[in-house]
Structure formats: structure tokens, C-alpha cells
Structure 1
Amino acid sequence: MKPAAVFLAALLVAATGADAQTVPASREQMRLTFAPVARQVAPAVVNIYTKRVVRAAASPMFADPFFRRFFGDVPGMGMTRERVQNSLGSGVLVGADGTVVTNHHVIKDADEVTVVLSDRREFEARIVGSDERTDLAVVKIESKGETFPTLILGDSDKIEVGDLVLAIGNPFGVGQTVTQGIVSALARTNVGVSDFRSFIQTDAAINPGNSGGALVDIDGRLIGINTAIYSKDGGSNGIGFAIPTALVKNVVAGISKGGKVVRPWLGAGGQAVTSDLAQALKLPRPLGVLVNNVYRDSPAAKAGLQIGDVIVAVQGREVDDPEGLRFRLATLQVGGDTQLTVLRSGAEKQISVRLIAPPETPPRDQTELSGRNPFGGATVVNINPALAEEIGINSGLSGVMVLGVRRGSVAHRLGVQPGDLILRINEKPVASVADVKAAVSGERPRWAITINRNGETMTQVIEG
């Protein structure tokens, strides 16, 4: 027997187990096709077309300061005209009643949504809800009792690097297209596409218009929603990202039930374990999240989590960094318990944590301030965990935050910005909206305000 034949025979013998994975050993095997999978999946992948009506100045010349300076106001200068913006994307039917999951950015600000099936039938659809932080949305086909084909949601936690996958969508609006590749990487958290980052990376060709389409395994099960590409010119460079179904399931369920997603609140924060930290903590390798904050009365505090603990897994699923921890928690539903695997003083511990919704304490007391003071025209709010979750800020923050600033107001002219934390007014600390309202009541010849903006504390003195 020739050496090559002996090597091939050895490969075949080694791959005789129940979960055998083999290379093609004959011409017939090499002629295998993905057509059956594509035929099975294609009816449940849809094209999505949206329309948005925007208003613009009747002529851009009217907005030109040079024109206005020399010609003043002319008839029709304030007139606007309507313009229709069209966009396209893809979606996946996950409910026989016409429930479609897609990307938030596909249907954002849309006035009309049209869903086109693979058989070219068109249906009007309504937006059920959208979750910008995960870049996922749910739309519902408006039909009378019709049953639609659906995709089975697979378990994205079971896929491995190297697995074959198919990407199906509507790239560049050319129509439904199937591309094939492999899973290139898992748990990519350094992609700034959404707040909950743990993407499946694939080299299956994904292009503009594929957003919201399906990433399926070779059994035709949905394992991800295609959402982004890494590209310098807008075309596919073989690096695409999909939102895993582990997250998709919870988001779709939340939006379908109540129109919004409620994610569990842990009430603890931390940092990624670097090589230096791992060495200092005597860990075998960099892994997990080093806890540096545990908030009072939070689920983490009640469960006994401590500062200095290293969270290495949630429900047995390994976490590498804070983004991975947030992703794992986001895949769980409020109301149950979860197991955290924690390293404490070199020993491994299992901690059971109750999964609750972020609390609305203290009450937000959202208020638009008025009067001749530095915050006149600013909308302020008490920070609580529920608000922090909604707008994507550190849930451990407390105090008063500027939520919005009315254009042309005193606060706007002074440069007050949404997201500013109000620390002191006239050297007096403020801890609540009530404190701010009391501090700005009445007129004063001089104001001194101290705010924190993006981690930097600034004091400004304003003469009344």
C-alpha cells in the first residue's frame, strides 16, 4: 500500500466515532452540495424595504449665510419640501404568524416597512419594537391568518471555530443571495457595533443589504443574525459579524411580549484580567472579570460576591472580559437564578445570583428646569439602575444627570450637554433633582456650577 493511501486509511479509521468529522474520500463526496440547505432555509429569509419621509429646505441656497447677508429674507425662504429616503436590508421569519427579526439599523426611523418573501410576494409590516443596544428589531407582517415558513433557532453556544456556515440576505439589493464560509472566531467583543458585544465572526461574504439576514449551520438552523462587516471600501473583505441566537432569543421574546427588552441586573462592575493582573492574582492565564465594585442591596451583594473576586463563567459559559459578562447576563431572563463561577483567593466557588430587573430607585423625577439660571431649559433626572440600563451607562452611577437640553435655552447657550453629571451648584453639593431645583430657584448675580463630563470634572463661573 502506498504511503498516501495508508495515511488516508488512517484518517478514515480515526473518524469512525459517533461524532466523526471526515475529509472527502471519493469523487461522490466531493460533489456534495449545499443546495438542500439553501432550499430549506431560503423561504424564511426575507428582504426588507423601508421608506422615511424627511423635510429639507426648499433650496440649500436659502441656508447659505452669504446669500442671507446680501439678499435678506425672500419669499419662500422658510419653505421646506418633503423627500423620501429608501433603504434596504434583510430579515428572518422566526414566527409562523409573520414575526420577523432584523437589525435595528435596518428599520430605524422608518415610516413604512415592506417585507418581500423569496417567492416575490410583498406584505406591509409594522414595527413591533426595537432594541438599539443590541441592534435588533422585530417587525410583524400584516396578513390575515396566513402561515409563513420559519427558521429553527439553533444553539449558537454549540458552534465551533471551523464549522461551515451559510449567510443569506439581500446584498446591494440584487435579490436573495447565499454565500458560504466557516466560523472564523467566536465571542468577538472588540467590535463596536452594539452595546452587547459577543459576535460570531465568519468569512462568508456579507455586504451592505445583508444586515438582518440569516447565518445558518449546515443543518439549516439559525445561529446568528448578520449585522456588520469589517471593510474600508464598503465591500466584503471576508470579515463579517453576526449576533448569536443566544441573545436573539431573549430580545425577540422581550419585544414580542412587552415591546421592550428587560435585562437582568447584577449590580457589580469590574475590569478584564490582563496578563499583569493574572500574574499578580496567581491565575494560570488571563481570564474573567476582576470585581472592583459591588453595589449595596444589589443581587450581587446579596449573593455574597466580593470585591477582588474574579468571575470566570456564567452558567458554565466562560467569560473573558466585562463585555462578555454583560453578554452572558443579557442572554438570561429576569425571574430566575444563575450560577457564577468565581475565583476567590485561588479557590473556585459557585455563587447563585437572583436575576432581577434593574430597579427604579430612586425615582427618576424627570424635570425640565426653567428660569434665568445655568440649567434653564435642561431636562434633569435622578440616575437609577433602570435608567442606566436604558441609556447604556455605568449602573453604579448615582446623582443627577442632564438628559436633554432644549435648543436656544440658557443651558444650551452655556454649553450644557446631555450626559453631564451635576455635582455642585454655588459650591453646594447636589444629590437629587430636588436639590437641583432648590439650588436654582430665584435669581443670583453670580453662579458657579461643577459638572462631570466623560469622567472629567469642570467648574464654570457665570455672571448673572
Structure 2
Amino acid sequence: MIKAGEDRMDQSGRWARGVLAGASVAVLLAFGGPAAGAAEQVPGAGTAEQVPMAAAEIKLTFAPVVRAVAPAVVNIFSQRVITESQVPPMFADPLFRRFLEERGMLGKPRERVQRSLGSGVILRSEGVVVTNAHVVNGASEITVALNDRREFPAELVGLDPRADLAVLRIKSDTPLPSLALADGEPPEVGDLVLAIGNPFGVGQTVTSGIVSAQARTTAGISDYRFFIQTDAAINPGNSGGALVDLSGRLVGINTAIYSRDGGSVGIGFAIPVEMVRSVVEGILEDGKVRHPWLGADGQSVTTELASHMGLDRPLGVAITDVAKGGPAAKAGLAEGDVILALDGRPVFEGETLRYRIATHRPGDKVVLGIRRDGKDTTLAVTLEAPPEDPPRDTTLLKGSHPFDGAEVSNMNPALAEELGLEKASRGVTVTGLGDGVAARIGIRPGDRVIEVNGKAIDAVRDLKAAISKPSRVWQVVVDRDGRAVRLVLGG
């Protein structure tokens, strides 16, 4: 089970200064060169990395890295007001609730303050802080505490729930310590990393480990299931904290753990720095994140597809649909092409492609490595913002019909991006539900309306026309997560 690394508390935890000493392994150049009696270099290894074999090497410490990095890692305390209904669960049916409200029989909602704890990283000396969206989303008050005990009220600049990242701003009369973002290639499996945060509110804590895996896409924490996996201990309260390399550069934002009991079992996940950079820059420049659009859909290459396409292994994304006039179409991408790489980096599956596209911004040019008719070639694609085509025509439906209380919209690429959908299937999508018939009969947000009384629904105007005339029996077909759901009810 995936558990977001957030701890909810009623009061702030104790402060403690985290220092890590007596590490059992070390990268020599991170601490100024080899120790006396260094072992012979491992065959095939680069000159920058050696296996510690002498006693003097094993006694090396991460303390210099921690001293440089720790001041830029902060604690984040947030609180939000939660309104709780005093209606017993047995009376929670929308129809019965409305009956009670109309007769003034509902008690006043009760409010309580919910406090949450997380971590964050200062990225700019003028007070730009990044953390996880789930740490601060919906908060009415946010406080950032530095490891020197100073506290600042924080302003939420913007957040991207799909990437689970948020940007805060604090104001200080003096420059604040900040952390540099790692550039170039991501850390490799086996690289040493340090995780810094405030687990369980005990105070700033440092743990060490290695990069256990890259491109781990099975962790359903955010819409972009692409993470650095580490065995450095990450616990509740570490969300938004730093994962750094031994040069003291940020390589990821700690976001979640795999756990059965809430504690660390050596499987933690961090959002890679390239996604952090893209989201932070977008929020600071535009106040929101504008993820780019490729204008093509496809499916991950399976073993069967790989054999059929002449590939020696299941790798890449087979294109099944190209949007007319979109960036991919303009670049010459066609149905049947297989995307194998983006900017020279391999595309293992659909999730990888979505992630690599999402780390760019509209207007960026990327180079796709593709397989077409058994031959490899490249295409240069200029990414664009997802278009509002067709117009959404968002409408709240009311009346004596199955969609009473439902908000519906024409699906388009921009709306699909907002809703976190992998594909912008044309048609009418339920985007919201209020009290009404739709909620009671089981219509859900995200349902795509296919038919009403045998009439195909391609646009909001078609749905409005179909429900405008009374009917003794309503037959509705909606698409829900790729399967058809049929509803039949009396008028």
C-alpha cells in the first residue's frame, strides 16, 4: 500500500538537529579525495567512484554534505478548517438530506481545525520553497520553520496536484539558504543519496541509502507515475523533504513510502528533479502549470506487439491516434509508428512518454526516436499547449431526467489535461455532480455519455436535445473507465 509521507499532528513536534556520522560507505571525491591506503580501483569503474576497503575510508562521514544542505530543508506546518455534518451516516442519502434541510431539521455543521506536518526545500534565496501538494492543499494557514528555529508565514503561490508539487513563498530581510538543483543525467541505480526531512515531527533528520530503482511506475501517488526509488528511510512527515546526492544537489522531492503499518520498510519514492524544475518554473512565471501536448495517443508495446513489429524486446509506445493539426501531426508522426526515445532517452512504456513530455513546457522542441516500417528515424516536434477544441460548453443540467444535478462538458485536450485523463476521447463528460437525480442513480464524475434513448451523444447540445422531451423510460449508456455501463429507469 502506498502511503503519502505526511503526518497529522495537533501540535508541532520537537526540534532536533540531524547529523549523520559513522557512515559505512562513501564516495571518495565527495570528501576531498582518497584516504590513505585507498584500494585499487574496481575494474570498469570510473575514476570518480571507488569501493571503500580500508578502515580510513569506512570512517569517512556525510557530515560536510549535511552541514551544507540541512539549512535549506524546512519544516512545514499547515492547518485547515474541516466542516463536519452532524447528520448520522444512515441519513446521508441526498434525497433524505434535502428533506431534512427544507424542514430545518439539520443541526449546524461542526467545524474543527486539522493540523498537518510536512517538509520542504528552499530553492531560491529570496524565499521560494517547494513541497508536496498534499501537504498544503486546502490549508488556511501555512508556517515554514527553518532549522535555525526561525518561523515565517508562507503564501501559497501555486500547486500542481497531478505532479503532487506546490510552491510557497516566504519573506525574509536577509537571503535564505537554498539548495541547487542537480543538472544533467539523473542519479544511477546504486548511487548514494541522503533523505532530509522532519519525520513524525521529531525534528530535522537525515537518513542515507542508495537509489534502488529508476522509472518506478507502479507507485500510483501522482498522475505521473515516474519516481526515484530509494532505501533511505522515509517516514510520515518527510513529504516534501529533500533527496540529495553527495555533491549536495537536489535530485528529488520525497513524496511517499510503501508500507503496511505506516513506517519505513526501505521502499521510498521521490519526484525526480526534472519534474520539480518544470513545475516550479511554470508556477513562478504563470501562476499555474501548463503541461504541454503532443497530440498523439498510443499503447505500450507488449511482447506480442514487439514480435509483430520486429522489435527484439517490448519497448516503446505504438501510436494509435494522431490529432489532426496537432504538434505530432505537424512533425509527421503517423499511426503505426513506435516511439522508442525522446531526446535520446529511452521510452519504456506509455507512462514514461507521458512523464518525459510533462517535464517540458509548451513551445519546447523535442526529438522523438521512432521505428517506422522496420527502420529507425527521428522527428523534431514542437510541443504546444493543449487546445480548447471543441469549446467545453460546460452546462449544469436541471429537470425531470436522469442527468438532473450533473455538470457536463465537451471533452477536449485542455479539459483532459485538467482532469488527468490519458486520452481526450471526444464526447460529453460529466465534470461535476450536485444534489439531484444523477447522483442518486449512480452517475459519476468522469463518465462519458454515449447514448440516451438510443441517440448517440457527441456534444453537449446533443445531450440537451435528448433530455428536453419527457420520456416514460430512460435508457442511458455511459463509458466508465473503458467499459459500457447501461442504466434503465422510469421517467
- In the superposition, the TM-score normalised over structure 1's length comes to 0.91
Matched, 1:299 2:327: yes
1:437 match = 464
Matched, 1:223 2:251: yes
Residue 321 (structure 1) shift: 0.6
Residue 199 (structure 1) shift: 0.6
Report the CA distance shift for 1:372/1:325 in structure 2 as closer, same or farther (over 3 A). same
Percent of aligned positions that are identical: 54
Aligned to 1:158, what secondary structure does the other structure show? coil
Report the CA distance shift for 1:62/1:370 in structure 2 as closer, same or farther (over 3 A). closer
- The residue identity in structure 2 corresponding to 1:374 is P
Residue 362 (structure 1) shift: 0.6
In 2, the alpha carbon distance for the partners of 1:462 and 1:25 equals 75
Following TM superposition, where does structure 1 have runs of at least 4 consecutive aligned residues deviating by more than 4 angstroms? 13-18, 57-65, 72-77
Report the CA distance shift for 1:399/1:35 in structure 2 as closer, same or farther (over 3 A). same
Which of 125, 130, 135 lines up with 2:164 in the alignment? 135
1:269 match = 297
Aligned to 2:284, what secondary structure does the other structure show? helix
In 2, the alpha carbon distance for the partners of 1:238 and 1:413 equals 44
Matched, 1:456 2:456: no
Structure 1: runs of 5+ lacking an equivalent = 1-8
Mapping of residues 29-428 of structure 1, within 5 Å:
29-57=57-85, 78-141=107-170, 143-155=171-183, 157-407=185-435, 409-428=436-455
User: Is contact 1:45–1:90 with CA below 8 Å preserved after alignment?
Assistant: yes
User: Is contact 1:15–1:21 with CA below 8 Å preserved after alignment?
Assistant: no
The C-alpha deviation readout for 1:231-256, integer Å capped at 9, x for no partner, is 11111111111000011100011111
User: Is contact 1:189–1:197 with CA below 8 Å preserved after alignment?
Assistant: yes
In 2, the alpha carbon distance for the partners of 1:352 and 1:288 equals 17
Report the CA distance shift for 1:359/1:57 in structure 2 as closer, same or farther (over 3 A). closer
- The residue identity in structure 1 corresponding to 2:66 is A
Report the CA distance shift for 1:460/1:182 in structure 2 as closer, same or farther (over 3 A). closer
Report the CA distance shift for 1:459/1:20 in structure 2 as closer, same or farther (over 3 A). closer
- The residue identity in structure 1 corresponding to 2:376 is E
In 1, the alpha carbon distance for the partners of 2:252 and 2:59 equals 27
Residue 40 (structure 1) shift: 0.3
User: Is contact 2:38–2:52 with CA below 8 Å preserved after alignment?
Assistant: no
Residue 62 (structure 1) shift: 11
Aligned to 1:172, what secondary structure does the other structure show? helix
Residue 128 (structure 1) shift: 1.1
1:3 match = none
User: Is contact 2:282–2:288 with CA below 8 Å preserved after alignment?
Assistant: yes
The C-alpha deviation readout for 1:295-342, integer Å capped at 9, x for no partner, is 222211221112222111100111101000011111112112110000
Aligned to 1:12, what secondary structure does the other structure show? coil
Instruction: Number of aligned residue pairs: give it.
Output: 449
Report the CA distance shift for 1:76/1:365 in structure 2 as closer, same or farther (over 3 A). closer
In 2, the alpha carbon distance for the partners of 1:456 and 1:59 equals 35
Residue 214 (structure 1) shift: 0.2
- The residue identity in structure 1 corresponding to 2:215 is A
- The residue identity in structure 2 corresponding to 1:122 is E
Residue 192 (structure 1) shift: 0.7
- In the superposition, the TM-score normalised over structure 2's length comes to 0.86
User: Is contact 1:156–1:244 with CA below 8 Å preserved after alignment?
Assistant: no
Aligned to 1:361, what secondary structure does the other structure show? coil
Residue 428 (structure 1) shift: 1.8
- The residue identity in structure 2 corresponding to 1:93 is I
User: Is contact 1:200–1:243 with CA below 8 Å preserved after alignment?
Assistant: yes
- The residue identity in structure 2 corresponding to 1:414 is I
- The residue identity in structure 2 corresponding to 1:120 is R
Report the CA distance shift for 1:385/1:117 in structure 2 as closer, same or farther (over 3 A). same
In 1, the alpha carbon distance for the partners of 2:463 and 2:396 equals 11
- The residue identity in structure 1 corresponding to 2:257 is I
In 1, the alpha carbon distance for the partners of 2:395 and 2:428 equals 11
- The residue identity in structure 2 corresponding to 1:329 is I
1:5 match = none
User: Is contact 1:90–1:170 with CA below 8 Å preserved after alignment?
Assistant: yes
Mapping of residues 3-14 of structure 1, within 5 Å:
12=40
User: Is contact 1:156–1:224 with CA below 8 Å preserved after alignment?
Assistant: no
User: Is contact 2:38–2:53 with CA below 8 Å preserved after alignment?
Assistant: no
Report the CA distance shift for 1:130/1:238 in structure 2 as closer, same or farther (over 3 A). same
- The residue identity in structure 2 corresponding to 1:140 is R
Across the aligned residues of Structure 1 and Structure 2, the Cα RMSD in angstroms comes to 2.6
Report the CA distance shift for 1:377/1:29 in structure 2 as closer, same or farther (over 3 A). same
Residue 426 (structure 1) shift: 2.5
In 2, the alpha carbon distance for the partners of 1:152 and 1:247 equals 15
